[in-house]
Structure 1
């Protein structure tokens, strides 16, 4: 899995930018499953997203999913078009 591991509390220290390839459509089912895992089982998901400083990786609970964003702890939003990889 690619991406430098960072603590989810430090996401806002980075400028999130769109990934080279928008994988929103391809990852939608995985993200819906990640939201269900987070809400029903409190399970964490590994998410790799693009920043100006390169790909970053976090392990977190996905609280909600909208058409354009995932929401994680403390109301932090990550744009779907910035997500490179999702794994449980």
Structure 2
């Protein structure tokens, strides 16, 4: 897996999301649902790795919701599922 730079979640607005390389994707639907449960029930944070126009970036945040196409974090920030490389908790 490629190395991702850890950034503050508030910095995400400075980047454009790109599709994650298929051979790097480590996210399954179960991981997404578990990250939402951890955030909502236990107030736990997850590390999310995202493919951006500046390379892979990692944030630590609470996952609020997951839809068919997006993952939502604080302040209504939507991250396209196709940009996700990994979620760790």
Extract unaligned runs of 5+ from structure 2.
none
- Cα deviation code 1:8-53 (max 9, x no counterpart): 01101011111111848x5211010000000001100000010011
Give the aligned partner of residue 59 of structure 1.
60
Is the counterpart of residue 43 in structure 1 residue 36 in structure 2?
Answer: no
4+ long deviations beyond 2 Å? none
RMSD between superposed Cα atoms in Å: 1.7
TM-score (normalizing by structure 1): 0.92
Does residue 62 of structure 2 align to residue 83 of structure 1? no
Written as runs of structure 1 = structure 2, the 5 A alignment for 1:21-32 is 21=22, 23=25, 26-32=27-33
Any unmatched runs of 5+ in structure 1? Answer: none
